[in-house]
Amino acid sequence: MATAKSNVAARIMISPAVLLLLAWMLIPLSMTLYFSFLSYNLLSPGMERWIGFLNYEYFLTDPAFFSALTNTLILVLGVLIVTTIGGTLLALLLDQPIWGQGIVRILVIAPFFVMPTVSALVWKNMFMNPVNGLFAYVAKSVGLPPFDFLAQAPMLSITGMVAWQWLPFATLILLTALQSLDREQLEAAEMDGAGPFSRFFHIILPHMARAITVVILIQTIFLLSTFAAILVTTNGGPGYASTNITYLVYSQSLLQFDVGGGSAGGVVAVIIANIVAIFLMRMIGKNLEA
């Protein structure tokens, strides 16, 4: 297989795909970079001009930027904590032999198949609505005033919705990891005098470390760009209380028609994502080594 000829052939065969992917990434990226240095507003077409780093300056000094950055981190961290801990516990439960195991597992996985917009709308209108929602009904039935989730605690509510959506993903990955654990190791630990908690912390959790790392990395990538859940519930409000970086870029370029500012925001978002990625790999990347 690995002769010089076959290597050359492999490179030639693979090159169209690589070139296509490269163009697909490079063209949008370079256009975004280019736009981010222009004064480019859709309301005044034909007036584009080079303004250097002014867009970046405006974006980074915008008071909304820091609240958006904080909100992004809160959302990512909150969802990660809920899904990894909740997913581990659910996986432990689902690993027990129970009657109707197949159906229960499908039910648990179901939320992942619901579109983010749909799930956010269902949460907003059927559960969290202070007049018609189920939570309001429960609160009223025990004599409490209904709580307006999306107005009073917008980040908490959105974190809850997104966590609900991602919990099945974490559960599924962690369950498969749990099932690949050699039963004899658990039995050996039992013989060695380890109780249920010792077995969990010394045997099960280290075994699942790699899967947990994968869950954290994949979820971080998707959670940094959470958008639909915010758009259909709070529109980033009240004020900037639930605006994250993605939503801020959207509002900059499509609500304020400032393509230049939006592009600068997009580049900043890419840089932030890379910083997060570097930190993550430093912290948990060693778990991925064999």
Partner 1 sequence: MGSITLSNVKKAFGDTVVIPSIDLEVNNGEFVVFVGPSGCGKSTLLRMIAGLEDTSGGTIAIDGQDVTDLSAAKRGLAMVFQSYALYPHMTVRKNIAFPLKMAGLPAVEVDKRVAAAANVLNLNDYLDRRPGQLSGGQRQRVAIGRAIVREPTAFLFDEPLSNLDAALRVNMRLEISELHQTLGTTMIYVTHDQVEAMTMADKIVVLQAGRVEQVGSPLDLYRNPRNKFVAGFIGSPKMNFIDGEEAAKENAATIGIRPEHIELSTESGRWKGTVAVSEHLGSDTFVYVNVDGVGHLTARVEGERPVSHGDTVWLSPVAGRIHRFDAQDMTL
Instruction: Give the largest CA-CA distance in the chain.
Output: 79
Cβ distance to partner 1 smaller for residue 203 or 232: 203
State phi, psi for 39 to the nearest 5 degrees. -85, 105
By CB under 8 A, which span of 94-102, 167-175, 192-200, 246-254 interacts with partner 1?
192-200
Q: Please, what is the minimum distance in Å from the beta carbon of residue 23 to partner 1?
A: 43
Q: Please, what is the minimum distance in Å from the beta carbon of residue 212 to partner 1?
A: 13
For the beta carbon of residue 243, count every other beta carbon within 10 angstroms.
Answer: 25
User: What are 251's two structure tokens?
Assistant: 């509002």
- The only residue of 198, 201, 279, 281 in contact with partner 1, by rule CB under 8 A: 198
Residues numbered 130 to 149 that lie near partner 1 (CB under 8 A) are none
Q: If binding is defined by CB under 8 A, does position 195 make contact with partner 1?
A: yes
- The only residue of 33, 74, 209, 217 in contact with partner 1, by rule CB under 8 A: 209
Q: Please, what is the minimum distance in Å from the beta carbon of residue 56 to partner 1?
A: 45
Whole-number Cα distances in Å, 46 to 28, 73, 125, 160: 21, 38, 43, 44
Cβ distance to partner 1 smaller for residue 206 or 239: 206
- Determine whether 36 is exposed, middle or buried from the number of CB atoms within 10 Å of its CB (0-12, 13-18, 19+): buried
Q: If binding is defined by CB under 8 A, does position 191 make contact with partner 1?
A: yes
Q: If binding is defined by CB under 8 A, does position 284 make contact with partner 1?
A: no
- Determine whether 204 is exposed, middle or buried from the number of CB atoms within 10 Å of its CB (0-12, 13-18, 19+): buried
Round to whole Å and give the CA distance between 229 and 264: 23
- The only residue of 176, 179, 185, 256 in contact with partner 1, by rule CB under 8 A: 185
User: What are 36's two structure tokens?
Assistant: 């981010």
Q: Please, what is the minimum distance in Å from the beta carbon of residue 96 to partner 1?
A: 17
Q: Please, what is the minimum distance in Å from the beta carbon of residue 177 to partner 1?
A: 13
Cβ distance to partner 1 smaller for residue 32 or 287: 287
Cβ distance to partner 1 smaller for residue 63 or 193: 193
Q: If binding is defined by CB under 8 A, does position 286 make contact with partner 1?
A: no
How many residues contact partner 1, by CB under 8 A? 18
DSSP codes joined into one string, 109-144: HGGGGS-HHHHHHHIIIIIS-TTT-HHHHHHHHTTP
Q: Is 164 helix (H, G, I), strand (E, B) or coil?
A: helix
Q: Which residues contact 88 (CB under 8 A, 6 or more apart)?
A: 170, 174, 205, 208, 212
Cβ distance to partner 1 smaller for residue 16 or 193: 193
Q: If binding is defined by CB under 8 A, does position 33 make contact with partner 1?
A: no
Q: If binding is defined by CB under 8 A, does position 194 make contact with partner 1?
A: yes
Round to whole Å and give the CA distance between 118 and 124: 10
Closest CA to 68 of 251, 271, 279: 251
Judged by the rule CB under 8 A, the positions of this chain that interact with partner 1 are 182, 184-185, 187-195, 198, 202-203, 206-207, 209
